Chains A and B, each alone.
Chain A
């Protein structure tokens, strides 16, 4: 099995990493790059906790190969706020809404929820409640019961639309 040095664009920065074909994207992010925001929970693509965005699309990093993501644009929760020009320590509007609405308890599902919400709002800036529920259908939370999460995403959608002037 060949080891290769490949280049990955993660959160706007270029990273070189030594990868083998059997390294998953979550292993690359967590173990090689130290980005532990993406959580590996079920490991079989059912819980959504490992969701990151690759080329803007939500990807289950536990079920994606690192080698297949080379040269692609990867966004993790660590880079979300900076991706909209926030300074270190500031939050992205979706993150802020999760805090404001109490949509976080243990926090394990939150990075995946928030990135999935971003993918949803990028595609559909004005979703209905049902569309938010469907959009987060692949993300499991065992604490909050989802109501506050959906409330937070709808609130974030309002903020983002106002910021965009639409």
Chain B
């Protein structure tokens, strides 16, 4: 149980490599015995509870070049593996241009957890209940990976091949995240269902749509806590794309998304409840996203329009 009172951490060796290459080599050499330490808010309590057993801990805190936030030349946002959730939450470009991602971060209750914890650490824990992962997925984020075989970019849903797993191979680490620029007519909304705000989600939804000429050109419905991994509800997305987002179509898409879930019964909810509330949350998120998309299309280029291509900053 994670709530047992504090016992001593088991022994381990600790490393603070200075470069990505050194970190990668340490991880490669030690295999399953090693774990990356970023903010530590997940790893340390788990090691203490005995649910993660490792003998080698590789801290990234002194690796150069992993703590950054910047606008990409295309108008998207990039941030590093050691960028804290708190830094992202306070970044004006993220809040103004990527509001659903801001909402997903802002609703995390503990300021301490956000000051210590990193967005990439949150992703690498690979819990299906992450709020940050679906929010990033709905914005088509790519995960930047470096390792013994060089660098690669993994689209977010593909980063989670199975429950609790990431697509990282031996010796690979995540170095950062790229979020592409949002186009004209884009709107997104984050919603989750929680028992209390300090708890993890029973259902977490981020929907994003692009509306042009009155039609949905692109739909993203990223869901968490309702399947072994975060996933995109592709059948629901396909229903929307190319169509006018009427009330009826949104209802049909939400029902389709609920059918794509594979929830479980646990102490937070029954599977049945999770599926039913997914349908409600997806419908609400799609309505919100569509409303924001219409505002974005109308205000594009004006002062209060979202940032992105074609907007000078």
Residues of chain A touching chain B, judged by Cβ–Cβ distance below 8 Å, are 1-2, 20-24, 40, 42-46, 48, 51, 57-60, 62-65, 67-68, 116, 119-120, 134-138
Is A45 a contact partner of B45 (Cβ separation < 8 A)? yes
A136 neighbours in B (Cβ, 8 Å): 111
Q: Pick the contact of B111 from A22, A62, A119 — CB < 8 Å? A: A119
Q: How far is the CA of A22 from the CA of B232 in the complex (A)?
A: 39
Is A44 a contact partner of B110 (Cβ separation < 8 A)? no
B28 to chain A, nearest CB (A): 20
Is B12 in the interface zone, CB < 8 Å from A?
yes
Find the B residue at minimum CB distance from A57: B115
Is B14 a contact partner of A64 (Cβ separation < 8 A)? no
Is B74 in the interface zone, CB < 8 Å from A?
no
Known contacts A59-B116, A137-B197: does B41 contact A22 (CB below 8 Å)?
no
Task: Supply 22 A–B pairs (Cβ within 8 Å), ascending by A.
Answer: A1-B12, A21-B14, A22-B12, A24-B9, A42-B5, A43-B48, A44-B3, A45-B110, A45-B112, A45-B113, A51-B112, A58-B115, A59-B112, A59-B116, A60-B113, A64-B116, A65-B59, A67-B14, A120-B111, A137-B109, A137-B197, A138-B110
Is B10 a contact partner of A48 (Cβ separation < 8 A)? no
Q: How far is the CA of A48 from the CA of B115 in the complex (A)?
A: 12
Q: How far is the CA of A119 from the CA of B110 in the complex (A)?
A: 13
Q: Per-residue 0/1 for B2-16: is the Cβ within 8 Å of any A Cβ (1 yes, 0 no)?
A: 111111111111101
Known contacts A22-B10, A63-B40: does B45 contact A138 (CB below 8 Å)?
no
Is B61 a contact partner of A22 (Cβ separation < 8 A)? no
B106 to chain A, nearest CB (A): 8
Among B108-137, those with CB < 8 Å from A are 109-113, 115-116
Is B198 in the interface zone, CB < 8 Å from A?
yes
Q: Among the interface residues A44, A68, A120, which one has the most CB atoms of the partner chain B within 10 A?
A: A44
A101 to chain B, nearest CB (A): 21
A86 to chain B, nearest CB (A): 25
Known contacts A43-B45, A44-B3, A137-B110: does B11 contact A60 (CB below 8 Å)?
no
Is A21 a contact partner of B116 (Cβ separation < 8 A)? no
A23 neighbours in B (Cβ, 8 Å): 9
Find the A residue at minimum CB distance from B86: A57
Is A22 a contact partner of B115 (Cβ separation < 8 A)? no
Is A62 a contact partner of B14 (Cβ separation < 8 A)? no
A163 to chain B, nearest CB (A): 24
A135 neighbours in B (Cβ, 8 Å): 111
Known contacts A63-B116, A65-B14: does B109 contact A44 (CB below 8 Å)?
no
Q: Pick the contact of B112 from A42, A44, A48, A68 — CB < 8 Å? A: A48
A68 neighbours in B (Cβ, 8 Å): 14, 16, 37, 40, 59, 61
B151 to chain A, nearest CB (A): 27
Q: How far is the CA of A138 from the CA of B16 in the complex (A)?
A: 28
A20 neighbours in B (Cβ, 8 Å): 11
A137 neighbours in B (Cβ, 8 Å): 109-111, 197-198
Is A22 a contact partner of B9 (Cβ separation < 8 A)? yes
Find the B residue at minimum CB distance from A23: B9
Q: A1-B12, A1-B13 are in contact. List 18 more A-B contacts (CB 8 A).
A: A20-B11, A21-B14, A22-B9, A22-B10, A22-B11, A44-B2, A44-B49, A45-B44, A45-B110, A46-B198, A58-B112, A62-B44, A63-B45, A65-B14, A65-B44, A65-B59, A68-B40, A137-B111
Known contacts A59-B112, A64-B116: does B2 contact A21 (CB below 8 Å)?
no
A131 to chain B, nearest CB (A): 11
A32 to chain B, nearest CB (A): 14
Find the A residue at minimum CB distance from B16: A68
B12 neighbours in A (Cβ, 8 Å): 1, 21-22
